[in-house]
Amino acid sequence: MFRTAKPHRLLMCRPQHFDVVYSINPWMAPEKPVDNGLAVRQWEELRRLYTHLGHAVEVVDPVPGLPDMVFAANGATVVDGKVLGARFRHVERTAEGPAYLDWFVRNGYEDVLWPEFINEGEGDYLTVGRRILAGTGFRTDSRSHAEAQEFFGLPVTGLTLVNPRHYHLDTALAVLSDTEVMYYPAAFTTGSQAVLKEMFPDAVIASDDDAAVFGLNAFSDGRNVLLPKSATGLILQLEKRGFSPIGVDVSELLKAGGSVKCCTLVLR
């Protein structure tokens, strides 16, 4: 099957102030040292790859004291140029919401909503064609799903996460094209697994090993799929389906529970 890449506009945030100083997910161990220089180099390589593939990468200024701000995916949800701001679950990250929203306002986005309910941006909202999949269970309040549906005017399907290591939807499911996804069933409730099966009967299913290295925290432009290079099983499956998987090393950022997709906000 021949696949075409669609050029995207992406927003990223340099991990200048990246560190693990608190723990809000099971990956984060503040007593383990973090090599900030290595994190920056790995991030620069990811940015270089995006540019090399023809994507336009915008950057937002990192704010001192916000070590998780590198995870741009959590900064907002942008669909059809409309921006749903993020409102974080944990106090350690709350200041990131306004910091990201400010970037959108300064960059000429006019339809910007400061949300009523907690939602962690594209960490929990993933767009598949003209539909939106929405995670809940750990971070995003399920009441936010109705708010997003009303704001974007697109159908929003709620999915409930149950495994604390997969606390955001983008750690358990990745969108590959306008009609295809890959996911890790065990990260979801039985009901949500059934919904996913109904919506995507041909989905790529991730093994325990691939899910455990955050292989689903991937970005796809419809042809190239950037994902953690240790997700070898997924890389093989994607090749078989005609995608061009590209293994990336962002191991330093994984210490905070984030990988490729977390560093990437799609400006749709």
Outline where the chain has alpha helix (H): 36-52, 96-106, 143-152, 190-199, 208-212, 232-240, 251-254
What are the b/e assignments for 231-259, b being 16+ CB within 10 Å?
bbbbbebbeebebebbbbbbbbbbbbbbb
Paired residues of 265 in beta bridges = 11
- 68 near ligand ARG, rule: CB under 6 A: yes
Nearer CB in complex with ligand ARG: 21/194 = 21
Side-by-side strand order, sheet with 224-228:
219-220, 224-228, 244-248
Burial class (CB in 10 A: 0-12, 13-18, 19+), 81: exposed
Nearer CB in complex with ligand ARG: 183/236 = 183
The Cα–Cα gap between 170 and 132 comes to: 12
Smallest separation (angstroms) from ligand ARG to the CB of 162? 16
- 256 near ligand ARG, rule: CB under 6 A: yes
Q: How many residues bind ligand ARG (CB under 6 A)?
A: 16
- 118 near ligand ARG, rule: CB under 6 A: no
Active site residue 263: no
Burial class (CB in 10 A: 0-12, 13-18, 19+), 108: exposed
Active site residue 166: no
Nearer CB in complex with ligand ARG: 33/153 = 33
Q: Restricting to residues 14-33, which ones interact with ligand ARG according to CB under 6 A?
A: 24-25, 28
Residue from 8, 145, 166, 262 carrying the catalytic annotation = 262
Nearer CB in complex with ligand ARG: 245/258 = 258
- 171 near ligand ARG, rule: CB under 6 A: yes
The Cα–Cα gap between 221 and 264 comes to: 12
Residue from 8, 55, 166, 168 carrying the catalytic annotation = 168
Smallest separation (angstroms) from ligand ARG to the CB of 202? 25
Nearer CB in complex with ligand ARG: 55/168 = 168
Smallest separation (angstroms) from ligand ARG to the CB of 163? 13
- 123 near ligand ARG, rule: CB under 6 A: yes
Q: How many helices (H) and strands (E) does the chain have?
A: 7, 15
The Cα–Cα gap between 101 and 114 comes to: 8
- 170 near ligand ARG, rule: CB under 6 A: yes
- Residues of this chain that bind ligand ARG (CB under 6 A): 24-25, 28, 68, 71, 73-74, 93, 123, 168, 170-171, 256-258, 262
Active site residues: 168, 262
